[in-house]
């Protein structure tokens, strides 16, 4: 089974998410999930919203699987996200310095939020002007290098310059590694096709295919899901809070002294903040502002 799973991973196949019962096969008291749909990155590119439903048993010890196919359509604005590869650019710190100022507000937290908004907007435009379509640039550089290597009329200096452009794929690796949020890749791993598949599969898993509303009905349409979600959160301020049982304070007396010794209400000093930043994986996304810990370390 381990070898089978390794071969699936090597072929860049991923298991589609499913609805319904967890198990697809039954014999006596034994239940297993033996049946599943596998898809590659090209499938996710065209049918990101596809899903699988495990139906009920019908004249077989295997459940029928129903594949629901829907093309990916999205017009929503993507949230901002800081990418660690931006630090490789020589103009990065200058861009940050020019944006991280001229914000006045008495509340420091609101001021920080306004600075984040201003810097994220500036970095969006700067990223497109400085990097553009990263994948297209790298592919064009590799094609140009191959053509030069096959030509006998090119000097060594031109070949060296073309090779240096291809080496910019190191920034692409940082970009893909952060988007996949998978930390098992070793440095220098350039299997970008697998990176791409991981990115699309992660995006696939983050999609909400259906929800069950407060009336118990299952909603599948995107507009209905969005409407029900908005109505739910709009009703929270006016809803009647549910009564909860009172906690017995005597159950916490043993740990009360330890909790007080932690000084949780004290403001952290710079050393504690720096230690906390260094303990965070730089490839992980910091929500909801989109800035990772690597941004604060290097800027």
What gap in Å lies between CA 85 and CA 127, rounded to an integer?
A: 10
Stretch 56-74: mean pLDDT: 79
Q: Give the pLDDT score at 7.
A: 80
pLDDT tens, residue by residue, 80-135: 888 887 887 888 888 888 888 888 888 888 888 899 889 989 988 888 887 766 65
Stretch 184-211: mean pLDDT: 63
Residue 189 has pLDDT above 60, yes or no: no
CB within 8 Å of 87: residues ≥ 6 apart: 294, 298, 299
- DSSP 3-state of 293: helix
Tokens 């009564």 belong to residue? 243
- Of 194 and 276, the structure prediction assigns the larger pLDDT to 276
Say what the pTM is: 0.51
Q: Give the pLDDT score at 286.
A: 59
Stretch 192-201: mean pLDDT: 64
pLDDT tens, residue by residue, 201-260: 777 777 777 788 888 888 878 788 888 988 888 888 887 777 777 778 777 787 888 888
Spell out a b/e string for 165-202, using b for 16 or more CB atoms within 10 Å of the CB, else e.
eeeebebbbbbbbbbbeeeebeeeeeebebbbbbbbbe
Q: Give the pLDDT score at 186.
A: 46
- Of 286 and 139, the structure prediction assigns the larger pLDDT to 139
pLDDT tens, residue by residue, 2-42: 787 778 877 778 888 788 888 999 888 899 988 888 888 77
Residue 174 has pLDDT above 70, yes or no: no
Extract long-range pairs of 120-127: CB within 8 Å, 24+ residues apart. 120/80, 120/82, 120/289, 120/290, 120/291, 121/80, 122/95, 122/98, 123/80, 123/82, 123/86, 123/95, 123/99, 124/80, 126/91, 126/95, 127/83, 127/86
Token pair of 103, please? 């914000």
Stretch 166-193: mean pLDDT: 55
Segments making up each domain of the chain, as ranges: 2-68, 84-183+281-298
Residue 75 has pLDDT above 80, yes or no: no
């Amino acid at each position: 089974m381990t070898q089978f799973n390794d071969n699936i991973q090597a072929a860049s196949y991923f298991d589609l998410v499913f609805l319904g019962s967890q198990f697809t096969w039954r014999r006596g008291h034994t239940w297993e999930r033996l049946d599943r749909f596998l898809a590659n990155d090209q499938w996710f590119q065209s049918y990101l919203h596809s899903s699988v439903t495990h139906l009920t048993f019908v004249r077989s010890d295997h459940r029928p699987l129903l594949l629901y196919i829907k093309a990916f359509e999205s017009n929503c604005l993507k949230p901002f996200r800081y990418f660690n590869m931006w630090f490789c650019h020589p103009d990065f710190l200058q861009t940050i310095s020019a944006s991280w100022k001229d914000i006045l507000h008495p509340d420091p937290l609101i001021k920080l939020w306004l600075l984040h908004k201003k810097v994220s907007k500036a970095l969006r435009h700067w990223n497109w002007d400085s990097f553009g379509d990263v994948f297209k640039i790298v592919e064009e550089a590799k094609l140009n290098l191959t053509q030069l290597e096959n030509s006998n009329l090119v000097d060594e200096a031109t070949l060296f310059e073309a090779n240096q452009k291809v080496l910019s794929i190191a920034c692409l690796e940082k970009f893909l590694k952060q988007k996949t949020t998978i930390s098992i890749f070793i440095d220098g791993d350039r299997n970008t096709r697998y990176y791409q598949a991981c990115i699309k599969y992660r995006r696939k898993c983050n999609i909400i295919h259906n929800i069950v509303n407060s009336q118990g009905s299952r909603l599948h349409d995107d507009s209905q899901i969005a409407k029900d979600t908005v109505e739910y959160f709009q009703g929270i301020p006016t809803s009647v809070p549910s009564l909860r049982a009172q906690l017995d304070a005597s159950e916490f007396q043993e740990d009360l002294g330890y909790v007080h010794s932690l000084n949780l209400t004290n403001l952290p000093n710079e050393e504690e903040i720096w230690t906390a930043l260094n303990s965070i994986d730089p490839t992980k996304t910091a929500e909801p502002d989109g800035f990772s810990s690597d941004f604060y370390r290097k800027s």
